[in-house]
Amino acid sequence: MGRYVTLLSILSVFLFFSISTLQAMPGSKDFAALEKKVASLQLGFDEYYIAHKLDGEQQERAQKHLLEKSYPGTYTFTDGEIHVLVAQESDTIIAVYLKNEEADKIELKQMIADLMMQFGNPTSEAHDQIIYWAYNEKGKISEDEYTDSKKEGEVQIIATVKFKSKLTLTESTGEDAPENSIHCIVSSPRLLEKFYNKQ
């Protein structure tokens, strides 16, 4: 795949989208309980699941592949194509991220196909550029559930998987489609917010 960049440069964009577009679960005093609920969803890539603690082997790998910059109270490392953002005090995974800055239309279609194979049908799509899967404590929220919840004015979300394409999917899958920047992040808006607000 193409050139990869760190989580740090784009996490704020995803956090803003998570909070402003998808209403996150109301604030809970029991942060440990929230982490437990998110962890039970088993969301991530290649054994890196958000709200799970790194095991010994993963911690060793992290020390060998640390990135220079990360949010205060966190560290970021890579494992092949995967970027992992981790809480420093607990070694708990906050977000897992993939990016391809020079994707052709075949790579774009493959990433979307892989995501749908892993996470199933998406919860919603937006602007012909964004595809996302939203989860509450019971599991993935279906498109119908999401639509009904929006009408009622409340969407209880504790974790999301978001794919975003710089170009529209129509532009990037045409006959003469140019290279495109695509990325996907698995995160919990509430867990991310805890660290983002320290900035």
pLDDT in tens, 114-154: 999 999 999 999 888 999 999 998 999 999 988 888 777 77
Q: What is the pLDDT of residue 12?
A: 46
Residue 159 in contact with residue 187, Cβ under 8 Å? yes
* pLDDT at residue 99 greater than cutoff 70: yes
Q: What is the pLDDT of residue 146?
A: 87
Contacts 24+ apart (CB under 8 A), 114-122: 115/161, 115/163, 115/184, 119/43, 119/161
Q: What is the pLDDT of residue 22?
A: 43
Higher pLDDT, 199 or 162: 162
Q: What is the pLDDT of residue 5?
A: 42
Listed in sequence order, the residues at least 6 apart from 126 whose beta carbon sits closer than 8 Å to its beta carbon are 21, 132
| Cα(136)–Cα(155) distance, integer angstroms | 9
Q: What is the mean pLDDT of residues 27-39?
A: 77
Higher pLDDT, 8 or 68: 68
Q: What is the DSSP letter of 157?
A: B
3-class secondary-structure state, position 35: helix
